């Protein structure tokens, strides 16, 4: 069954804690660039002490030594999952995987869910990139380097599963209900569709954090994922 990870993209740690006080059943939270920059590692410690599994999503893309040291620091903080960019290359991913050992689970960010083919093709200076094939290609590199999973859009999950095998994690942002605003996300699907296609973790931010009733929104997503899960 897919697990729902709440992306804490909020302006302050105190707002994140207030939200979590309303989400009694949540097990996984994601701390990204916004809260890490505002609050630093102390917030991660607080979340870990609350018994939450923390996904530290800083999407590292740097030289191998720097990324490996950052991964070790995340492990020492008690982080359960962290991200590197697969375009950082094989040597970077291998160094990161070696530094991680069994924790944190390192997952490789492939093509950001905010890209469509046109914007990604422009970013990499190639014409008409087929995003399914590109995500498959990057997933293969990540598996070879020893990463524990992949971050991709819900639309590529079946293709990625074929590359990474049955055990690795497939983590998908870009979760939107039928009536939800897409915002800056381009490649989206519902929680039900993402779960049915075999994603192991669904990352959801604004559909929960901006809901009038975040607890009801969270429960609805968990239920949708449970009913549709593979």
Nearest approach in angstroms of CB 196 to ligand C5P is 19
User: Rule CB under 6 A: is residue 205 a binding residue for ligand C5P?
Assistant: yes
Site string for ligand C5P, 57-96 (x = CB under 6 A): x---------------------------------------
Q: Among 2, 138, 139, 185, indicate the residue that binds ligand C5P (CB under 6 A).
A: 185
Q: Any catalytic annotation for residue 59?
A: yes
Name residues whose C-beta falls within 8 Å of residue 169's C-beta, 6 or more positions apart in sequence: 81, 105, 107, 148, 149, 150, 200, 201
DSSP of 29-50: EEEEHHHHHHHTHHHHHHHHHT
Q: Does 160 bind ligand C5P (CB under 6 A)?
A: no
Vertex 171: Cα angle to 27 and 127 (nearest 5): 155
Contact (CB, 8 A) for 202 and 194:
yes
Considering only CA atoms, which of 90, 93, 91 is closest in space to residue 82? 93
CB of 123 to ligand C5P, least distance (A): 13
Q: Which residues pair with 149 in a beta bridge?
A: 107, 169
Retrieve residue 37's tokens.
Answer: 């920059």
Nearer to ligand C5P, 64 or 154 (CB): 154
Our CA angle for 166, 167, 171, nearest 5°, is 95
The residue among 99 and 204 lying less far from ligand C5P, judged by its C-beta, is 204
Q: Least distance (Å) from ligand C5P to the CB of residue 205?
A: 3
Is 43 among the residues that bind ligand C5P (CB under 6 A)?
no
Residue placing its CB nearer to ligand C5P in the complex, 143 or 152: 152
CA-to-CA distance for 216 and 214, rounded, in angstroms?
A: 5
Binding mask 15-34 for ligand C5P (x = CB under 6 A): ---------------x-x--
CB of 193 within 8 A of CB of 158? no
Q: Does 190 bind ligand C5P (CB under 6 A)?
A: no
Annotated catalytic sites, by residue?
A: 59
Residues in contact with ligand C5P by the rule CB under 6 A: 7, 9, 30, 32, 57, 109, 112-113, 151, 173, 175, 183, 185, 203-207
């Amino acid at each position: 069954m897919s697990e729902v990870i709440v992306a804490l993209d909020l302006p302050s740690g105190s707002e994140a804690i207030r939200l979590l006080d309303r989400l009694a059943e949540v097990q996984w939270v994601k701390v990204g660039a916004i809260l890490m920059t505002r609050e630093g590692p102390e917030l991660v410690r607080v979340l870990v002490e609350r018994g939450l599994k923390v996904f530290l999503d800083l999407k590292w893309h740097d030289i191998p030594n720097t990324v490996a040291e950052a991964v070790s620091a995340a492990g020492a903080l008690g982080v359960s999952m962290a991200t590197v960019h697969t375009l950082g290359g094989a040597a970077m991913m291998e160094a990161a995987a070696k530094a991680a050992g069994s924790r944190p689970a390192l997952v490789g960010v492939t093509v950001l869910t905010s890209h469509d083919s046109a914007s990604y093709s422009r970013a990499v200076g190639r014409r008409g990139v087929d995003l399914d094939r590109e995500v498959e290609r990057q997933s293969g590199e990540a598996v070879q380097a020893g990463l524990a999973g992949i971050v991709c859009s819900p639309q590529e999950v079946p293709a990625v599963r074929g590359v990474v095998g049955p055990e690795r994690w497939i983590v998908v942002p870009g979760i939107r209900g039928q009536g939800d605003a897409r915002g800056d996300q381009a490649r989206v699907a519902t929680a039900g569709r993402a779960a049915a296609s075999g994603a192991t973790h669904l990352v959801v931010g604004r559909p929960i954090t901006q809901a009038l009733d975040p607890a009801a929104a969270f429960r609805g997503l968990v239920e949708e994922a449970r009913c549709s899960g593979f």
